[in-house]
Structure 1
Amino acid sequence: MHSIGEPLQIDELPVPEPRPTDVVVEVKACGVVPNLGNVLNNIGKWFPHLALPELPAVFGLDASGVVSAVGSQVYGIEVGQRVYVNPARYCGGCRHCRTGDPISCDHYTFAGYFGFGSGSPRMFQDYPYGGLGEYLTAPQYALVTLPDEVSHETAARWGYLGTGYRALRRAGVGPQSTVLVNGASGTLGLGVVLFALALGARRIFGTGRDRDLLTKVEALAPGRVLTHSLDDEVGVADWVRSHTGGEGASVVIDALGPGAPQESMLDAFRAMARGGAHVDIGAVGGEVPVNLHEVMDRNQTLHGSLWFTTKDGQEMADLAETGAVDLSVLEHERFPLSQVNEALTVLKNRNGGFSNYVVVP
């Protein structure tokens, strides 16, 4: 990326060498997700609080590949291993990192994407390679080892899948849970449905607009997954309560993006049961009015959940290895690196969350 809003260009760079605790990964697939276009074209206007790397910069968030070189102080990772590279980078030395909360680190940065804190410019210098290239460097703490059951193309979706997985974990989803997924047919929401099934949720409610896509979502687990179009006359809250004896959903995961109307989020919020948890992962734009007195009186919680940890990512790989989660529903469409700009254009016609667009260097 040479300039915001302009097409990506192919540049020639030297193959990087690993520092002592880093590895070099030969990229086999890199995900192209809907938000990438927003970052490339609008990040300065839409999200001025986020940091961009100094341009020109190699972008690409979700990469999987094969380890091609390891640093002298790398343990447990060998050349030839298949891995997913979590793009999240953090310092490892601050109080947040030392106490096991690296996502709150002031250096927290997505390599190949954007950063969240004052330490992000330095992190971009230390890790300048995103996934839209043939090679990248990564710290050993960022690697998820992949079983044979997870293809590189599937692993290139790990970021969006992991965001949903972490949200479910934060809400304590298990066999006792009823889960409402707002935006269930989208790239984020579909992953929430898949992993809610894997974690044993007894009933999953999904919303969306495209009725054909919602039918495909219901087919993931007929009778256990129910869907509702946001265009229906009955509101989401009333619909969920009609299927839960008036109680509502114990967990609401909101996967609607910045362009979604606030009322859609609020209607899903109203579907939450007493003692329930609402987790936002889609970032509906603008200020959303919430009656905090009612939230307190109903003993509810409201979370914002960002990304996921390498621990979460390894748990997901383990669930896939055992067959607890079925990711075969993803429909991969592959593009060579030279067609990355075409891939971004095709996203507008995607088959909802079932489509998985990847660049294969």
Structure 2
Amino acid sequence: MQALRWHNAKNIKVESVELSPIKPDEVEVSVAYCGICGSDLHEYIDGPHAIPVNSCHPISGAYAPITLGHEFCGTVSQVGAEVVGINVGDRVAVEPEYRCGHCQYCKKGQYNLCESMGFIGLMGNGGFASKVNVPSYMLHLLPNNVSFEQAGVLEPAAVALHAINQSSLQVGQSCIVYGLGPIGLLIIILAKLKGIENICAVDMSEERRSFAKKLGATATFDAKKSDVMSDIEMYMPSGYDVAFEAVGHQATLTNSIHSVKKGGEVILVGLMGDVTINAFYLVNNEIKLISSVGYRNVYPELIQYISQGTLDIAQIVTKKVLLDNVVEEGFESLIKDKSQIKVLVSPAEFIS
């Protein structure tokens, strides 16, 4: 079969590989769509970051070279001997977090904090392929009225919904979103769905700010402006209840902290290394700094919203490409063209 393999930075290519024999607790999925994530881009540009190179991941047993892709869905084509409740022909979405099931966090249901946490498609062979074997616990059955296009965006939507769940954001309150990549835009969509009316957004891209307005943002601000904080404070002099930092940058973290009111919250979603924080300002204003990683127990809720017709996450899909063309038309396109938001990849043909 064909698969997109990561060898090292700037060295990913579609190759012919053999799919490993299915294990008793696994399910073979014929991939319909797999989305390109910002994490995939980082691995391509200057990885490895999460990809195991010198030793294998404790759950998957895999290490580089590895098949990328963790935002995927498809049709069950084979079922392991120990799997129950899943049948050949079932349409499924994949919740790609590995979990051991027996550490202190898994036992409490906090499987996104598993001591061996990782993602298929980064720490194990993933969905930029014709077929992939996945642990059966990762699968969610899709109702017939939930398209593969919608299901291809479930994973980043889960990240966004978990971030909202980590906050105490309530109807009648306000929020500001820093960074309008897929996660930031999905936070806007889901906050609006949750009844939040005052949603502001900050980004350097005019195209993405315009897109955010279409999705429900009440105001947007140009991050390139040296006095952007003046505009933000003028629009909401009392400060915002919650700020979502979805960039992973010192400047946006600092601005997020200074955007919220006393007693407000900053939710960290973007990935960043060491940063500097004015702890006196944080303490003196009793601002809560909360982090959010991955997701847990949100796929069923998202699938139900989509099935009911109250949520359309496929709005952020801007391009679909074939697996054979994924490097130039997918990865390079996302790097060069900031009007591209979410690119879905199909191994054979586009499926609705």
Q: Identify whether the pair has TM-score above 0.5, normalized to the shorter chain.
A: yes
Matched-pair identity in %: 22
- Scaled by the length of structure 1, the TM-score of the pair is 0.84
Contact 2:202 2:223 in 1 (8 A): yes
TM-superposition CA deviations, 1:294-315 (whole Å, max 9, x none): 3233232112211112x21221
Aligned position for 1:17: 22
Query: What SS does the corresponding residue of 2:16 show, helix, strand or coil?
Result: coil
Q: Does 1:7 align with 2:8?
A: no
Aligned position for 1:209: 204
Contact 1:161 1:188 in 2 (8 A): yes
Query: What SS does the corresponding residue of 1:154 show, helix, strand or coil?
Result: helix
Contact 2:36 2:342 in 1 (8 A): no
Aligned position for 2:227: 234
Paired AA for residue 234 in structure 2: S
Paired with 2:336 and 2:119, the residues of 1 have a C-alpha distance of: 27
Aligned position for 2:268: 280
How many residue pairs get aligned? The number is 334
- By how many angstroms is 1:209 displaced? 1.5
Paired with 1:50 and 1:132, the residues of 2 have a C-alpha distance of: 15
Contact 1:240 1:249 in 2 (8 A): no
Q: Does 1:43 align with 2:43?
A: no
- By how many angstroms is 1:345 displaced? 1.4
Q: How does 1:27-176 map to 2 (within 5 A)?
A: 27-44=31-48, 47=49, 51-52=52-53, 53-114=62-123, 124=124, 129-176=125-172
- By how many angstroms is 1:146 displaced? 2.5
Contact 2:19 2:131 in 1 (8 A): no
Unpaired runs of 5+ residues, structure 2, are 54-61
- By how many angstroms is 1:225 displaced? 2.0
Identify if the C-alpha distance between structure 1 residues 37 and 326 changes in structure 2 by more than 3 Å, giving closer, same or farther.
Answer: closer
4+ residue stretches of structure 1 with deviation over 4 A? none
TM-superposition CA deviations, 1:278-333 (whole Å, max 9, x none): 111112x4422212233233232112211112x21221111222233232423342
Paired with 2:22 and 2:63, the residues of 1 have a C-alpha distance of: 21
Output the aligned Cα RMSD.
Answer: 2.3
Query: What SS does the corresponding residue of 1:329 show, helix, strand or coil?
Result: helix
Paired with 1:151 and 1:158, the residues of 2 have a C-alpha distance of: 11
Paired with 1:308 and 1:64, the residues of 2 have a C-alpha distance of: 17
Which of 218, 221, 233 aligns to 1:225? It is 218
Paired AA for residue 51 in structure 1: P
Query: What SS does the corresponding residue of 1:91 show, helix, strand or coil?
Result: coil
Identify if the C-alpha distance between structure 1 residues 73 and 131 changes in structure 2 by more than 3 Å, giving closer, same or farther.
Answer: same
Paired with 2:150 and 2:338, the residues of 1 have a C-alpha distance of: 16
Paired AA for residue 225 in structure 1: T
Which of 258, 271, 276 aligns to 1:270? It is 258
- Scaled by the length of structure 2, the TM-score of the pair is 0.86
Structure with the largest fraction of strand: 2
